[in-house]
Structure 1
């Protein structure tokens, strides 16, 4: 026989479970906010605004997009980590912030402990582009050129600790070359200096240099995917010359740690649906941002794997923010 105290505790527990279940069934019951830890105009905003109307229609709730830039992305990210873990505030961020920057500088959040994964949104295909005056039409010729000119070939990126920076370091290691990194405050200035011949090469998302490639202002010689990208099949994968090379960027959605599984399941389902909407998927593909839209456990594996990969490289190459 249960004592009066035991019956009271059991009753309280059942009420609590019932309350959680009711909340899960009622999710979402107010607007969902997608926090972007970057300024307006970034690729995170492009993705968020494309899926916004689809999610609003299906969830019957407003979807608010909120830019919270600053602190190298830490301000917006920390705001989500500290928000109520009920699924109504989620984060759309880059792999740099979740898997690279924590190795390069101290951040006020833990990418594994403070968040639960929802889905990887897209891959941002990285490419290496050279000034037309560089005597290299492909990766093999570029590697040979770099080996013949050690510490004289400079590549620009969006900054220290960016996926582009780490891709260059990985290329140095895997190809046995010694490219010199030139960090910029954003990808745009790096692309401009490569076009102007101030640096020989730039590593950037293909979407940001494909126009210059087509006009002849730059020459994309390779991409960091395992295989060629169907959207630009004429551009070889670096792995065709440097076996095993792979360096990509990605955007992903996360929720605060402690978010109920029922809410995570709903968010994953709706984000995946919105991303795979034919019009959205085609627009992103045309931008060189192929949709991934995977399961939470797949994003979890991706996050952990990249944390280890870039952590090893950052320690080996002694990469620290200035």
Structure 2
């Protein structure tokens, strides 16, 4: 026989569940904000601007895009972590902030505890590009060139702890070479120095180097995907020369931890719809940023696996922010 106290507890739980369900069914009833922890012009903004009008039309609410750069991405990220867990403030960020940077420097958030995954937005395909004067037309020739010139081949990246930096470290380890890392405050200045011959190579998303590749100012000789990218089938995957090599970059949406599942489901559904629309998919594909649009549990798995992978590599290679 159920006691009076038990009946009261069950009734309270049922009421709470009903309240959450009713509240979630009313979601959203005011503007939403997508926070970007980077300055204007980054790939996060490109993606946010593409999904914004579709979300507004579908949700019947304004969607505000707000850049909150600073602290190597920690300011905007922490802002979302401390926001109410109601689905009205969400984060669009890079895998670097969620899976790499916390292993390289102290950050004021825990990527695995302070956020709930919504969906992976895109893959940012990483490519190794060289100055045209480098005598290497493919990865095999580049590796031979690097082995013949140990510690003399310099590669630029968007900074210490970036996916590009870690890709270079992984290439050193797997190919048995000794490229020298040169960190920049972004991929653009690194690419500019590679074009100018100040460094021999740059690792960057191909979305930022395809123009220079097409113009002959840089030569992309390999990408970090398991297989060749259908949008640029002439560029080989590094794994064709270095078996098993894979280094990926991605952008994903997260909400503060504690956001109700019903709200997460709404946000996932609408973000996936926007990212999967033919116009958005084509625009992203043409930029070398293929859409992913997966389920929250898939992003959770991706986040945890990459967090462990890059954490292990950061420790093995003793990578620390300067």
Task: Name the TM-score class by shorter chain.
Answer: over 0.9
Aligned mates of 1:94, 1:69 — CA distance in 2: 13
Q: Say if 1:211 and 1:22 are closer, same or farther in 2 by CA, change over 3 A.
A: same
Deviation at 1:272, TM superposition (A): 0.4
Deviation at 1:248, TM superposition (A): 1.1
Q: Does 1:112 align with 2:109?
A: no
Aligned mates of 1:139, 1:123 — CA distance in 2: 22
Q: Does 1:209 align with 2:176?
A: no
Aligned mates of 1:6, 1:299 — CA distance in 2: 38
* Unaligned runs of at least 5 residues, structure 2: none
How many pairs align?
322
The SS at the match of 2:221 is strand
Deviation at 1:26, TM superposition (A): 1.0
* Matching residue of 1:314: 314
* Unaligned runs of at least 5 residues, structure 1: none
* Matching residue of 2:154: 154
Deviation at 1:10, TM superposition (A): 4.4
Deviation at 1:99, TM superposition (A): 0.3
* Matching residue of 1:99: 99
Q: Deviations over 1:199-219 (max 9, x none)?
A: 110101101111111111111
After TM superposition, the score normalised by the length of structure 1 is 0.97
Deviation at 1:17, TM superposition (A): 2.1
* Matching residue of 1:57: 57
Deviation at 1:188, TM superposition (A): 1.1
Q: Does 1:243 align with 2:243?
A: yes
Q: Deviations over 1:258-308 (max 9, x none)?
A: 111111111111000000111011001110000000111110111011111
The SS at the match of 1:129 is strand
Q: Deviations over 1:127-155 (max 9, x none)?
A: 00111111100000000000011111100
* Matching residue of 2:77: 77
The SS at the match of 1:291 is coil
Q: Deviations over 1:74-97 (max 9, x none)?
A: 111111111111111110000000
Aligned mates of 2:136, 2:297 — CA distance in 1: 41
Q: Deviations over 1:224-277 (max 9, x none)?
A: 011110111110000000000011100000011111111111111100000011
* Matching residue of 1:277: 277
Aligned mates of 1:68, 1:283 — CA distance in 2: 25
Aligned mates of 1:113, 1:264 — CA distance in 2: 16
* Matching residue of 1:184: 184
Aligned mates of 2:12, 2:301 — CA distance in 1: 37
Deviation at 1:8, TM superposition (A): 4.9
Deviation at 1:3, TM superposition (A): 6.5
Deviation at 1:15, TM superposition (A): 2.6
The SS at the match of 2:214 is helix
Aligned mates of 1:41, 1:309 — CA distance in 2: 29
Aligned mates of 1:261, 1:155 — CA distance in 2: 43
* Matching residue of 1:303: 303
Aligned mates of 2:260, 2:16 — CA distance in 1: 14
* Matching residue of 2:225: 225
* Matching residue of 1:129: 129
After TM superposition, the score normalised by the length of structure 2 is 0.97
Q: Say if 1:6 and 1:313 are closer, same or farther in 2 by CA, change over 3 A.
A: closer
The SS at the match of 1:103 is helix
* Matching residue of 2:175: 175
Aligned mates of 1:2, 1:213 — CA distance in 2: 73
The SS at the match of 1:222 is strand
Aligned mates of 2:244, 2:288 — CA distance in 1: 22
Aligned mates of 2:305, 2:6 — CA distance in 1: 46
